[in-house]
Chains A and B, each alone.
Chain A
Amino acid sequence: MEISGQQYEPVIGLEVHVQLNTKSKIFCDDPVKYGADPNTLVSPVSLAHPGTLPVVNRAVLGKAVKLGLALECKIAQKMYFDRKNYFYPDSPKGYQLTQDRTPVCKGGGVNIKTESGDKFVSLDKIHMEEDAGKSIHVEGEDFSKIDLNRAGTPLLEVVTNPCMSTSAEVALFLNYLRRLVRWLDISDANMEEGSLRCDANVSIKPVGSEKLGNKVEIKNMNSVRNVQKAINAEIKRQAELIRSGETVISETRLYDLEKNQTRAMRTKEALNDYRYFPDPDLSEIELSDSFINEIKSAMPELPEEREQRFINEYGIELEKARIICEEISQAKFFESMLKENIDPKVASNWFVGPVKGFINQNSEIKLENINPKALSSLIELSTSGKVNQHVAVRELLPEVMVNGTKPEKLAAEKGLLIESDENELLDWVNEAISQNPEKVTAWKNGKKGLSKFFMGEVMKKSKGKADPRQTISLIEEQLKNQ
């Protein structure tokens, strides 16, 4: 990007909040659930009543360590929580419990695959903290409504170094992180519901310059696409400021999707002075080697590794391996289908095509309720030529997926097994020929493509159970005899 004869480049760092999918909150027993009626998931602790004390949820530590290991971070073995003091009604204690000085994970990072090759996105840290409640501002009223259901929901804040230079890299990193946290069963990572939230720090600087420009923090983006758009809009705004000889002010800006631009936020706190200090109500935490090793040994094969193994071991195309490995449940289901000795490539075509298609169209169907063995038998039935593939997909697949019915039995009951009885076949062929004399003449005059028309007729008459190879040779034989 050129500004007044000088090449500039953007510098982008992210702060990603990952809401953990624990059953209860980070410091008390309240259930964690999205979309419940307001103020029904609260307790004296989350309401900050005097005299109540927090106790940390062990599962939060486990999930934090799990993510840290997957991202090759250094895991802190001694840590505590700090109070971040600020006054806002959706944080009833008057402070947020977070980790300032002793984050659970330091360093680490991940290689993302960009169009111009691998790019290492390095992490500064990952720390644990509690979420705030929600304020609802009512237009034209002089009050606000507060819902504290979300207050105390566990969060991991993943902070990257300012190491990205395009919004495309940001999108790749966010998609990687989203797949990873879902894969590890840490979070639902749904940006629209706010279980994955991303703030971006954006600045621009002359290429080669060591000194970073003034950074602007942008908020309020509820999809990866909007994060990209917001970053692009902000880079453009900063470039225009510099072009016209102005300076970029360090501030927080909100992204306005409709106008596709960022706007300054009115400052929440004139003096941002959080006065961090260690929380004296919580005990210190020491993670033993055995605590960490237990998590390490239960770590699933990571999505990228699994994808690569599917390609190397089973010869599945990259595109299909990627789709299957989008969710760990899919990857597991796919591998249990393969236990039945079916061709992995054929299985991948079925999985990515009709099976996923059927699930997408029928939201009540869940992968975990489908019997992989029944599905494998169906694929086998089709590849061995006992049932026409289209017929198998159309007539058998839905029932096999919904009820787990044995496909062979179902095919027999529905009369869909391919007929290799030559006499019956011959009847259908001759019927098709005698009903279409003009087509027969055309065929004889050289329109050999019409064989397919007769094939179609026979398939209709046989309801798809005529063996295609046998049928086509029979058709041609009979047509020659006319």
Chain B
Amino acid sequence: MKINKETVRKIAHLARLELNESQEESMISELSEILDWVEKLNELDTEGVEPLINISGEVNRWREDEAKLTISHKEALKNAPEHDDDFFIVPKVVE
């Protein structure tokens, strides 16, 4: 399946990614290849087969309601590109 430039731009916008002209081109070919590969699955007859949600096939893997802190405030902020003493800092978002 061939993906077009418009679709690539739409997906990039939704993910808030900025792609230059050559990146767009390579995305078109990479995404198209991935889709071709996945399309192979269409060769199978899945009539009457329920879609698979979770690959493990597990059901009801849940936990009891117990609260626990696993990292400190300092550790939480440590890997952020930008932060102050309390908050993560991000480029201004306007609603």
Contact of A39 among B60, B65, B88 (CB under 8 A): B88
- Judge whether A394 is part of the interface by a CB distance below 8 angstroms: no
Interface centre among A22, A61, A137, A145 (most CB of B within 10 A): A145
Q: Which of B20-28, B29-37, B38-46, B71-79 contacts A (4 or more CB under 8 A)?
A: B71-79
B16 CB → nearest A CB, Å: 5
* B residues whose Cβ falls under 8 Å from a Cβ of A: 10, 13-16, 51, 53-56, 58-71, 73, 76-77, 79, 82, 84, 86-95
B13 and A23 form a contact (CB under 8 A): no
Cβ contact within 8 Å between A22 and B65: yes
| A-B residue pair count with CB separations less than 8 angstroms | 146
Q: Are A47 and B87 in contact (CB under 8 A)?
A: no
Any B CB within 8 A of the CB of A283: yes
Q: Which residue of A lies closest to B65 (CB)?
A: A59
Cβ of A202 under 8 Å from chain B: no
B88 touches A146 (CB 8 A): yes
Residue positions of A touching B, CB distance < 8 A: 22-24, 29-32, 37-44, 47, 49, 55-61, 80, 85-89, 94, 135-137, 141-148, 265-266, 268-271, 273, 275, 278-286
Q: Is B63 within 8 A of A137, CB to CB? A: no
Q: Are A137 and B92 in contact (CB under 8 A)?
A: yes
CB closest residue in chain B, given A36: B73
Which of these, B53, B61, B62, contacts A61 with CB under 8 Å? B62
B62 touches A145 (CB 8 A): no
Which A residues lie within 8 Å of B64 (CB)? 57-59
Contact sample, A vs B, 6 pairs, CB 8 Å cutoff:
A61-B62, A141-B92, A143-B82, A143-B89, A143-B91, A269-B14
Tell me whether B65 and A57 are in contact (CB under 8 A).
yes
Of B51, B62, B68, B92, which is in contact with the most chain A CB atoms at under 10 Å from its CB? B62
**Are the CB atoms of A43 and B92 closer together than 8 Å?**
no
- Collect the chain A residues with CB atoms within 8 Å of residue B94's CB: 137, 266
Contact of B77 among A39, A144, A268, A281 (CB under 8 A): A39
A40–B92 touching, CB < 8 Å: no
A32 to B66, CA, bound (A): 10
CB-nearest residue of chain B to A147: B87
**Interface SS of A by simple majority:** loop
Judging by beta carbons under 8 Å apart, are B87 and A42 in contact?
no
Least CB distance, B8 to chain A, in whole angstroms: 14
CB distance from A80 to the nearest CB of B (A): 5
Indicate if the CB atoms of B69 and A41 lie closer than 8 Å: yes
Q: How far is the CB of B91 from the nearest CB of chain A, in Å?
A: 6
Known A24-B66, A57-B63, A94-B15; further 9 A-B contacts with Cβ < 8 A = A31-B68, A43-B69, A87-B15, A88-B93, A145-B87, A145-B88, A147-B87, A283-B56, A284-B53
* Contact status A55-B90, CB under 8 Å: no
Say yes or no: B62 contacts A42, CB within 8 Å.
no
Q: Complex: how many Å from CA A92 to CA B77? A: 13
A23 touches B53 (CB 8 A): no
Question: B88 touching A43 by the CB < 8 A rule?
Answer: no
Q: Which residue of chain A has its CB nearest to the CB of B17?
A: A87
Question: Which residue in chain A gives the minimum CB-CB distance to B55?
Answer: A280
B65 and A58 form a contact (CB under 8 A): yes
In the assembled complex, which residues on chain A have CB atoms less than 8 Å from the CB atom of B79?
Answer: 49
A143: contacting residue among B10, B77, B92, CB under 8 A = B92
B67 cross-chain contacts in A, Cβ below 8 A: 23-24, 29-32
